[in-house]
Amino acid sequence: MTDKKQKILNKWATEKKAVKATQVAFDVGEKIQYVIRKEALDRSINPSDRIRQILGLNVSRKPKRLRLSISLSDEDMAFLAKAYKLDSQDPVEVKRRAAEKLIEHVRQADEE
């Protein structure tokens, strides 16, 4: 078996494990969520990893990209595309422009 095929098989084995995982949401109140999210930010980790630390669970040592995310409906995408004078069928460019706006927002906040 080639190295490439073995890597693919290993990746699928990892994916299979992920599929078996159970998503758990905690309804703990605004203050608790705020504190945990702030602790995660202060440690440059995501909130899920901070929760795992607090609960004494293993945390992947693999560095992860910290990213912000939102869900956009078709209407949201159309609104943003129109605001940026773009084609709503170009979600990559809409995403790029939205990211630029977020970056500019932070730069302006830093200047205040």
Would you list the domain boundaries of the chain? 20-58, 74-111
- Give the C-alpha separation, 29 to 31, whole Å: 6
Q: Which residue has the higher pLDDT, 20 or 29?
A: 29
> Any idea which of 1-5, 9-13, 32-36, 63-67 has the lowest mean pLDDT?
63-67
Q: Mean per-residue pLDDT for 17-46?
A: 85
Q: Mean per-residue pLDDT for 9-35?
A: 78
Burial (0-12, 13-18, 19+ Cβ within 10 Å), 50:
buried
Q: Mean per-residue pLDDT for 71-78?
A: 92
